[in-house]
Structure 1
Amino acid sequence: MSTEMKPVGLNLPGSDDWVPSMEDMPFHRLGGPEGVRALAEAFYDAMDANEPALARLHELDEHGKVSRGMRERFGLFLIGWLGGPQDYIEKHGHPRLRMRHGHFPVDVAMRDAWLRSMQRALDARAITGGVRRYLDRRFAEVADFLRNVEG
């Protein structure tokens, strides 16, 4: 076993141990606004197809799918959260995620359904490597943070 330690917080050439920097945020790795919006679409498509109980907690369109407005708002949020322009905050104010989700019971099952939808979306967008590991970890942290009921 090697005792060599890699510096923390650096993007090492030839390494897949990617961490974001001001010049290289997830927003950039996902393809800018178009790529992030495509991830939001893939997320809600996965939710509509595989997690109906979770989808029903959202505003639905006339076809029973998560509405266009919800998709656009989440895409705008993700753009800023992933290091892009902060247009969500300019339009809607601070995200206040716990407050905005407080009226929904978020238990382990809902957290896991949300994470499965995001994992399917990341798979559909072919997000791999260090950026995928980073996003998997960050999405899991936020999803767990939003839990507001036991179980």
Structure 2
Amino acid sequence: MPVELKTPPSDDWVPSMDDLPFHRLGGEEEVKALANAFYDAMDADEPALARLHELDAQGRVNAGTRERFGLFLIGWLGGPQHYMERHGHPRLRMRHGHLPVDTGMRDAWLRCMRKALDARGISGGLRRFLDERFANVADFLRNTEG
């Protein structure tokens, strides 16, 4: 019987109901690891952005913030809606409305997310898809000129 060779996932991947980003990333634990890598990058490289969050005794973005963002990402990427079950609708613009989000803050946020995606080894079509989605959301949250 011939050996069936598995072909690597296509580099031109796009999401579908049968192949969501949540699953492609590896599920809940991997998405939470991405959220933690994001805040690790923020703590290390974007201290002004980190200070906009609640910090722990070591001056790092606290565990509660990391957990909430992880839950948000799980649902946003097509996984279980744990965030909405616990915190209600994300209402991103409302929840960020008290902060002046300009292009500099948007770009700092995106730098952290790119570093997190790099740290988690996310590449190819999935990376392109996520880069675009994160850029769209980050730009949507801008509420200040500049």
| Residue 36 of structure 1: aligned partner | 31
CA distance in 1, matches of 2:76, 2:129: 13
Which residue number corresponds to residue 85 of structure 1? 80
TM-score by length of 1: 0.90
Aligned partner of 2:21 among 14, 26, 29: 26
Runs (4+) off by over 4 Å: none
Structure 1 match to 2:96 = 101
Match of 1:74 in 2: 69
- Give TM-score scaled by structure 2 length: 0.93
One-letter amino acid of the structure 2 residue matched with residue 144 of structure 1: D
Matching residue's letter, 2:105: M
Q: In the alignment, what sits opposite 2:3?
A: none
Partner amino acid for 2:42? M
Q: Secondary structure at the match of 2:134?
A: helix
Q: State the identity %.
A: 78
Equivalent pairs, count: 139
State the shift of 1:14 in Å. 6.4
1:132 and 2:121 equivalent? no
**Aligned to 2:53, what secondary structure does the other structure show?**
coil
Q: Which amino acid aligns with 2:100?
A: P
Extract unaligned runs of 5+ from structure 2.
1-7
- Structure 2: which amino acid aligns with 1:33? E
Match of 1:5 in 2: none
CA distance in 1 between partners of 2:101 and 2:78 (Å): 26
